[in-house]
């Protein structure tokens, strides 16, 4: 592993963070160096600290420990992510015989210089009990390959000799901090501590010394693995010659891991697919169901991916349907195994715990790759990252011996750690969290407003529009990791590609808003036939193409789905010279009902929104001026020409789409959004 220290960059950090002091500036710099390497730190893992002096708001000066705070990513940390904790009470704590995790957190928070700071790391006391100015901690995969062995102590001594202390496994917290400090006291000449089944600490008088020692130790571990490793896996011989693609099976898996909450209701997950030559070597091993089910490489990973993956059978490209049934059964067996794991380990003491959802966060498909799952795209990506690093770590451990992680009962303690359980009770989930919505015409007025509202309500949105650049711009503006795709809804291949993009990004689709359309004018009796056919292509057949793709995905997921159509008041109350627009819209209204009729049996809800006089691409400023002039009213009067005498906006239409999407027992409905138009009211 390359040493990334750079004198010029370190000096720049001092200049950038000079307001925080040189100690904290350099601490921030080397924390980022460590945090940006996934083989060292993954999503909240690892921590660093520096002992220095600061002045509080009253002008009193204290010796403090600036240590990584909860919620900060080491790769992007800023000085506020290293809250200052008074050293004196931390050091006094070492004399205690015991200290619960809750009391430890309270002690650390009560000792903060700034009470508004994030919670200091759970390993704050370990940093405090070591005398060095700078302390670094990572979960290096190379180190884990050494400590995830049955004879880890002997192997660490062989690789590092007396330069590293060895700390037997103890869960993070007060007891670990005391044990690590005791190991250091036995040999104060060590350059670091290796924590069994956990990771590595290095320390020094300067930021560079602590960092250099970290990289040097990791390089020694990597060199040992390279020099002594053997091919870790024997390849299996029964893989299909033509395996299915991730695109073919992701919706099946996404549906299989959706947690049923009640009739027709689910907690849905997002998919993140990973494959590479290294991953394929791992998942194609003949003994996969042995080494992949032993556990995770370090206990903190249980928080992200539980203790083991679900292993699925290989999937031939020409037999996805049969494979899908086996995949669902495999997930069902996984959930049963997880519940049994919880019940067995929960019964070991009297602590009150709430079981987590039993769904897997990793799925292995031999011959293809690994799928990570999460309730959001971000957490799915974290699962994917963890899965990729975990598989490489197991490979290294198997290469030099036999992967030997902590037993299930120890992993359970951290997965159901009281501090993590407390977070669950305060965690807020938005109504559409875990769901994926696709909006056609997504860059237009109604489409963009709808996409924004759905993203705000928790959905990941695929903004599909003829103008791909505009779609991408809308997706970026609404956030929530939404994506924009170019889509010509009159082209079947383009529509298929938009849905494929949704599957590639998120694993599937749950809500489809078929919104794209355009108004065509002309007296119906003299209308050019080509105009009417063009209008039907966009305002009817395009909706059919979108709906067909939606149902295709819904069938694979087997968790129902929502199909919504923008039909316009013209479908109910035709206007003179707008027959070319109204006739296909009327057909689309009945199309929505046909989908409700035929696919309600698989949980698909299909309804329409009937809107009127919305400022958008269909009703632009010039048309508003023309229509108001023709009726002899002002533009304001024209736009508010309804029973409520109020203009209806794209945001109101978006709200109607959202209401229908969340109306769990509504289908074949038409929701009117026009401020009140008796002529367009349904009987």
Catalytic residue ranges: 568, 581, 585
283-304 as b/e, with b when 16 or more CB fall inside 10 Å? bbbeebeebbebbbbbbbbbbb
**464 within 8 A of 474, measured Cβ to Cβ:** no
Q: State in Å, rounded, how far the first CA of the chain is from the last one.
A: 73
Q: How far apart are CA 51 and CA 400, in angstroms?
A: 38
**613 within 8 A of 641, measured Cβ to Cβ:** yes
Structure tokens at 375: 């309730």
The strand pair at 483-486 and 61-67 is best described as unpaired
Beta partners for 464?
A: 440, 485
Alpha helix segments (H runs only) across 360-428: 377-400, 408-415, 418-426
- 7's enclosing H/E stretch is helix 7-16
Beta partners for 374?
A: 270
Spatial CA neighbour of 300 closest among 375, 405, 179: 405
**59 within 8 A of 118, measured Cβ to Cβ:** no
Q: Which residues contact 171 (CB under 8 A, 6 or more apart)?
A: 299, 410, 413, 414, 417
Q: Which residues contact 282 (CB under 8 A, 6 or more apart)?
A: 233, 288, 292, 391, 392, 394, 395
Alpha helix segments (H runs only) across 457-511: 468-478, 492-506
DSSP state letter for 258 = P
Distances (CA, A) of 523 to 199, 527, 529, 575, 578: 77, 6, 12, 10, 7
Spatial CA neighbour of 156 closest among 220, 228, 226: 220
Q: Coil, strand or helix: which one is 666?
A: coil
Q: How far apart are CA 474 and CA 466, in angstroms?
A: 13
DSSP state letter for 284 = T
User: What burial class does residue 404 get, using C-beta atoms within 10 Å of its C-beta: 0-12 exposed, 13-18 middle, 19+ buried?
Assistant: middle
Structure tokens at 122: 């759970």
Q: What are phi and psi of 502, to 5 degrees?
A: -65, -40
User: What burial class does residue 373 get, using C-beta atoms within 10 Å of its C-beta: 0-12 exposed, 13-18 middle, 19+ buried?
Assistant: buried
Q: Which residues contact 311 (CB under 8 A, 6 or more apart)?
A: 288, 289, 292, 293, 330, 363, 364, 366
Distances (CA, A) of 233 to 144, 149, 279, 309, 315: 18, 17, 12, 18, 21
Rounded-to-5 percentages of helix, strand, coil across the chain: 50, 15, 35
Give just the sign of the alpha carbon dihedral 260, 266, 267, 270: positive
Query: Half-sphere exposure of 252 toward its Cβ, with a 13 Å CA cutoff?
Result: 23
């Amino acid at each position: 592993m390359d040493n990334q220290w750079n004198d010029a960059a370190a000096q720049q950090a001092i200049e950038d963070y000079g307001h925080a002091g040189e100690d904290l500036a350099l601490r921030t710099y080397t924390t980022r160096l460590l945090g940006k390497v996934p083989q060292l730190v993954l999503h909240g893992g690892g921590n660093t600290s520096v002992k220095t002096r600061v002045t509080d708001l009253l002008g009193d000066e204290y010796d403090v420990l600036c240590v990584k705070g909860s919620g900060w990513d080491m790769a992007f940390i800023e000085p506020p992510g290293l809250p200052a904790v008074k050293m004196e009470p931390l050091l006094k704590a070492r004399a205690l015989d015991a200290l619960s995790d809750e009391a430890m957190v309270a002690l650390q928070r009560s000792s903060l210089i700034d009470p508004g700071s994030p919670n200091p790391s759970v390993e704050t006391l370990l940093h405090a009990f070591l005398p060095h100015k700078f302390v670094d901690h990572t979960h290096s995969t190379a180190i884990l390959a050494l400590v995830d062995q049955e004879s880890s102590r002997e192997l660490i001594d062989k690789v590092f000799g007396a330069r590293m202390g060895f700390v037997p496994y103890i869960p993070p917290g007060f007891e670990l901090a005391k044990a690590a400090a005791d190991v250091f006291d036995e040999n104060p000449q060590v350059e670091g501590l290796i924590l069994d089944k956990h990771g590595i600490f290095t320390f020094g008088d300067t930021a560079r010394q602590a960092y250099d020692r970290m990289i040097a130790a990791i390089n020694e571990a990597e060199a040992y693995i390279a020099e002594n490793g053997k091919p870790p896996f024997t390849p299996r011989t029964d893989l299909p010659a033509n395996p299915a693609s991730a695109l073919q099976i992701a919706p099946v898996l996404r549906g299989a891991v959706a947690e049923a909450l009640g009739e027709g209701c689910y907690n849905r997950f997002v998919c993140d697919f990973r494959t590479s030559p290294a991953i394929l070597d791992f998942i194609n091993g003949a003994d996969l169901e042995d080494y992949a089910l032993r556990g995770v490489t370090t206990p903190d990973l249980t928080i992200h991916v539980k203790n083991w993956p679900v292993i699925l059978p290989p999937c031939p490209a020409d037999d996805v349907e049969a494979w899908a049934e086996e995949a669902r059964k495999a997930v069902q067996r996984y959930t049963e195994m997880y519940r049994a794991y919880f019940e067995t380990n929960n019964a070991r003491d009297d602590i009150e715990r709430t079981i987590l959802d039993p769904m897997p966060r990793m799925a292995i498909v031999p011959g293809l790759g690994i799928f990570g799952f999460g309730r959001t795209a971000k957490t799915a990506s974290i699962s994917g990252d963890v899965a990729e690093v975990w598989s490489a770590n197991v490979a290294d451990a198997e290469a030099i011996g036999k992967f030997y992680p902590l037993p299930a009962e120890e992993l359970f303690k951290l997965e159901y750690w009281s501090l993590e359980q407390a977070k669950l009770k305060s965690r807020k989930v938005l109504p559409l969290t875990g769901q994926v919505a696709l909006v056609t015409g997504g860059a237009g007025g109604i489409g963009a407003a709808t996409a924004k509202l759905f993203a705000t309500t928790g959905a990941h949105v695929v903004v599909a529009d003829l103008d791909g650049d505009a779609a991408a711009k809308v997706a970026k503006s609404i956030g929530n990791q939404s994506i924009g795709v170019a889509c010509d809804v009159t082209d079947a291949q383009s529509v298929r590609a938009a849905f494929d993009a949704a599957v590639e990004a998120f694993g599937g689709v749950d809500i489809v808003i078929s919104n794209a359309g355009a108004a065509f004018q002309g007296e119906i009796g003299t209308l050019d036939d080509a105009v009417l056919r063009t209008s039907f292509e966009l305002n009817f057949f395009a909706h059919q193409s979108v709906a067909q793709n939606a149902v295709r995905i819904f069938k694979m997921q087997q968790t129902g789905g929502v199909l919504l159509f923008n039909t316009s008041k013209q479908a109910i109350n035709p206007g003179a010279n707008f027959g070319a627009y109204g006739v296909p819209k009327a057909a689309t209204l009945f199309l929505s009902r046909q989908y409700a009729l035929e696919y309600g049996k698989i949980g698909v809800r299909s309804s329409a929104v009937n809107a009127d006089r919305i400022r958008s691409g269909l009703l632009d400023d010039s048309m508003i001026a023309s229509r108001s002039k023709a009726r002899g009213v002002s533009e304001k009067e024209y736009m508010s020409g309804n029973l409520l005498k109020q203009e209806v906006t794209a945001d109101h239409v978006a709200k109607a789409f959202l209401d229908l999407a969340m109306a769990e027992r509504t289908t074949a409905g038409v929701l009117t959004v026009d401020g009140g138009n008796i002529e367009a009211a349904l009987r």
